[in-house]
């Protein structure tokens, strides 16, 4: 009977962990936007506080900081889009160059292995020579 108590506690803990992971998996579509909103709120809070100190209402401060961040993200997209597009278009060529590079490295390492084997054979020959 005494062994049943710890076993029951362990099974309840395991069932609770499984239920928690299942609930988190099912609530992922709800939790992700909430977490994003919390992160955005924390990041934008200093900017809103600065605008609030100027004397504007909190709603105007929050909206203006949100618009500023959206404008910055839009500007980054406009500036980085051509670079990302070129990188995506160059990806097949880059992959071919990487394969050639790795092939060269592999051949060089194979050459090092052969040199190491030759050095070991020379060392064995030197050890087998009669000592004077």
Burial of 48 (0-12, 13-18, 19+ CB in 10 A): buried
pLDDT tens sequence across 56-76: 888 888 788 888 888 999 999
What average pLDDT does this structure show over 76-81? 92
Q: Angle formed by the axes of helices 4-26 and 28-54, to 10°? A: 60
Portion of the chain with pLDDT greater than 70, in percent = 96
Write the DSSP symbol of residue 129. Answer: S
pLDDT tens sequence across 37-47: 888 888 888 88
């Amino acid at each position: 009977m005494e062994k049943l108590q710890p076993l029951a506690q362990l099974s309840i803990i395991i069932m609770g962990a499984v239920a928690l992971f299942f609930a988190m998996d099912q609530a992922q579509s709800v939790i992700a936007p909430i977490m994003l909103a919390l992160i955005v709120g924390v990041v934008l809070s200093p900017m809103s506080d600065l605008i609030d100190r100027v004397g504007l209402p909190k709603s105007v401060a929050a909206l203006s900081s949100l618009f500023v961040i959206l404008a910055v993200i839009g500007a980054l997209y406009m500036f980085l889009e051509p670079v990302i597009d070129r990188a995506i278009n160059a990806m097949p060529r880059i992959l071919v160059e990487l394969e050639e590079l790795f092939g060269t490295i592999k051949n060089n390492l194979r050459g090092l292995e052969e040199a190491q084997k030759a050095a070991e054979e020379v060392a064995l020959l030197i050890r087998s020579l009669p000592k004077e």
